Chains A and B, each alone.
Chain A
């Protein structure tokens, strides 16, 4: 058998060209070209294909690893198995119609995605958002950050081998989902933000549930810190694993907790505050080590800070409307729609044409989602549909660092590192 190249050793059945290119890229990585001995199969390196169907690659991420025993020599990452053409779909929808699609991008923190789109549209179309809506959005965003980090906590520790943790994290996440049910009417894909505000006001039940959660959750966090911080096995599995230097992190565009774990305190909430983040106090947790343990501490601290922000928002929550009172910019309230002719017409026009930003306007607006900087870039041609809409998704950027930090680690580390970087493929592949 001719075993000069990796692609000669595997039987390519599907997407031949793509696969060959991928294996070629793996071979060329670090340009360590070595002739393979044709007679001795033991001299050929093992190339392990992980994913897209693999229990621990968080969806449909595919990794191709060249192994030396248990050691990973080099890695290629293959993304795109969940590509749904979301950016193209946006061009055929009104801005408001497109909003539910954003729920399906980072489906672990849908609220932040809604807010990201709506704030971008508000920026391009100069919509004023009422104070109360800002605060409700902040509460929603922080809750979604907690729910996303809970999944990260559960899955990362499950990837390290402790399966029970997944269930314990999910129990808490369930409470967040229940709050979303009360707050927005949906548990998972919330679609709560509207251009110019939010869909509905906080109900008393939702308020009580959020308060209750904010009181009880820190105790839960403390318990987790107790079980993990001094857990020798967990510690050894994560310390010094997948180290990402600050320069590399900045160079490859890592964002969110991954970047902050590498010692660069970049958080859109403080760097360029949106909503009313400039009016609440919170810290941006940062660690210098850049390893998986640093990313763990950063995310755990972030959950603390989220609770802090939620508490402040509840205290400061101003009275007033929850959506802009301008029929050209936002949906009228249902009271108006049902009981007045104008309201009915406005509702119809908003659905049919939608909000029309000025011709030639373009805007980029980013929010700090659970995974990092989530930005929407919109170009308008003056109609109700975006001319172009591009999404700067944090998971896609964070996945790029995998190729650097996986090299030289062990097979068992791959899953833990992927868990620590916490990508969501729905968002990465768009």
Chain B
């Protein structure tokens, strides 16, 4: 592990600030994009083009009465919303935003990422349980089941990327894609990862955790005020982080396509600006895709989600992993 330098602190500060902001921006984007999909205008009154709408939303959430169910487990009910927010913020530590622009380089960064990312479900499950409401409980249980089912294909898809790198450091994962993005080298893994990322973020078509129609609000039925706000914030941060992970693992991180072949040497400042712009653009594209998908397709049923996870994605991801491993071994030992 590298020593923590001043750059680390600066990157950490900016990244955290931007991640918190990105949730607000994502909320605004979601409302506008969904509005355009539905032939509406969306929020356009608060500030220019409704840009201050997220601020108004936050103020509204802060001023609302904080209701705790009388017979709920009050301590857990209060702690639960914090967990997904904290875990979402923790993931930022190992994601490289540019050449040398990362908070820290852990040699098991990928494992850290998977571990931290899946901790968020505790908040949802505990919140659902502590609310003492049947709707919340069902939502929480669905969250737990879904998380377990999709963590495995997600892990296998990531592992199939690691085969190309031979290192668990996120920096190495990105650098290995300087010439060829993983989407080209490992397309099946990419599809599995993207689907699993949607499921991990609890977004449509996998949003049966909140399933507004049958479960009212799912795990956050009994939450109000800023406690609900935390869940809300966490959901959008997970969307942003999911987009970042898709970008990092399969779309070359901060690298332009085939950058190693044609991109000339640049000054460090110019390179940093270019890297961050490229990374941000890719992330924004994926956030948009998240929103786009949410407002166009229906939701899966619980048993269908389980079937897709265990019977389809897990076997395919394992076969993909084994197949790639054989190909890479053969390439290195007999052809290369």
Q: Which of A55, A157, A168, A411 has the most CB of B within 10 A?
A: A411
Contact: B204 with A161, CB < 8 Å?
yes
Chain A residues, Cβ within 8 Å of B205: 161, 233
Contact: A164 with B296, CB < 8 Å?
yes
Given contacts A160-B299, A161-B204, contact A415 B214 (CB under 8 A): yes
Contact: A410 with B40, CB < 8 Å?
no
Contact: A164 with B301, CB < 8 Å?
no
A142 proximal to B (CB < 8 A): no
CA gap between A49 and B134 in the complex, in Å: 9
Chain A residues, Cβ within 8 Å of B134: 46, 48-49
Minimum C-beta distance from B181 to chain A (A): 28
Q: Which of B211, B298, B303 has the most CB of A within 10 A?
A: B298
Minimum C-beta distance from B97 to chain A (A): 34
Chain A residues, Cβ within 8 Å of B215: 411
Contact: B208 with A412, CB < 8 Å?
yes
Contact of B302 among A70, A160, A164, A414 (CB under 8 A): A70
Chain A residues, Cβ within 8 Å of B214: 56, 159, 411-412, 414-415
Chain A residues, Cβ within 8 Å of B296: 162, 164
CA gap between A399 and B297 in the complex, in Å: 28
CA gap between A171 and B39 in the complex, in Å: 9
A237 proximal to B (CB < 8 A): yes
CA gap between A164 and B298 in the complex, in Å: 10
Q: Which of A49, A162, A171 has the most CB of B within 10 A?
A: A162
A349 proximal to B (CB < 8 A): no
CA gap between A414 and B213 in the complex, in Å: 10
Contact of B301 among A162, A167, A412 (CB under 8 A): A412
Chain B residues, Cβ within 8 Å of A56: 213-214
Residues 211-226 of chain B: 1 if any A CB is under 8 Å from the residue's CB, otherwise 0?
1111110000000000
Contact: B301 with A413, CB < 8 Å?
yes
Chain A residues, Cβ within 8 Å of B34: 163-164
Minimum C-beta distance from B33 to chain A (A): 11
Contact: B39 with A167, CB < 8 Å?
yes
Q: Which of B142, B207, B214, B304 has the most CB of A within 10 A?
A: B214
A222 proximal to B (CB < 8 A): no
Chain B residues, Cβ within 8 Å of A231: 297-298
A83 proximal to B (CB < 8 A): no
| Interface SS, A side | helix
CA gap between A55 and B216 in the complex, in Å: 6
Given contacts A161-B213, A161-B298, A412-B208, contact A167 B303 (CB under 8 A): no
A217 proximal to B (CB < 8 A): no
Chain A residues, Cβ within 8 Å of B21: none
Residues 296-324 of chain B: 1 if any A CB is under 8 Å from the residue's CB, otherwise 0?
11111111100000000000000000000
CA gap between A48 and B205 in the complex, in Å: 24
Minimum C-beta distance from B21 to chain A (A): 26
Contact: B39 with A168, CB < 8 Å?
yes
Chain B residues, Cβ within 8 Å of A48: 134-135, 138
B273 proximal to A (CB < 8 A): no
Chain B residues, Cβ within 8 Å of A158: 213
Contact: A161 with B207, CB < 8 Å?
yes
Residues 36-50 of chain B: 1 if any A CB is under 8 Å from the residue's CB, otherwise 0?
011110000000000
Contact: B301 with A157, CB < 8 Å?
no
Minimum C-beta distance from A301 to chain B (A): 21
Contact: A164 with B38, CB < 8 Å?
yes
Q: Which of B34, B204, B301 has the most CB of A within 10 A?
A: B301
A335 proximal to B (CB < 8 A): no
Q: Which of B38, B39, B207, B216 has the most CB of A within 10 A?
A: B38
CA gap between A412 and B207 in the complex, in Å: 12
Chain B residue, CB-CB nearest to A419: B213
CA gap between A210 and B7 in the complex, in Å: 68
Contact of B213 among A159, A164, A233 (CB under 8 A): A159
A266 proximal to B (CB < 8 A): no
A236 proximal to B (CB < 8 A): yes
Chain A residues, Cβ within 8 Å of B135: 48
Contact: A236 with B301, CB < 8 Å?
yes
B295 proximal to A (CB < 8 A): yes
Contact: A233 with B299, CB < 8 Å?
yes
CA gap between A235 and B214 in the complex, in Å: 18
A234 proximal to B (CB < 8 A): yes
Give 8 nearest A-B pairs by CB, closest first: A161-B299, A167-B38, A160-B298, A161-B298, A162-B298, A56-B213, A412-B301, A415-B213
Binding site for A on B (CB under 8 A): 34, 37-40, 134-135, 138, 142, 204-205, 207-208, 211-216, 295-304
User: A48-B134, A411-B215 known; 11 other A-B pairs, CB under 8 Å?
Assistant: A161-B207, A162-B295, A163-B34, A164-B34, A164-B295, A164-B296, A233-B300, A236-B300, A237-B298, A237-B304, A411-B138
9 A-B interface contacts by CB (under 8 A) = A55-B213, A163-B38, A164-B296, A171-B39, A237-B299, A410-B301, A410-B303, A411-B138, A412-B302
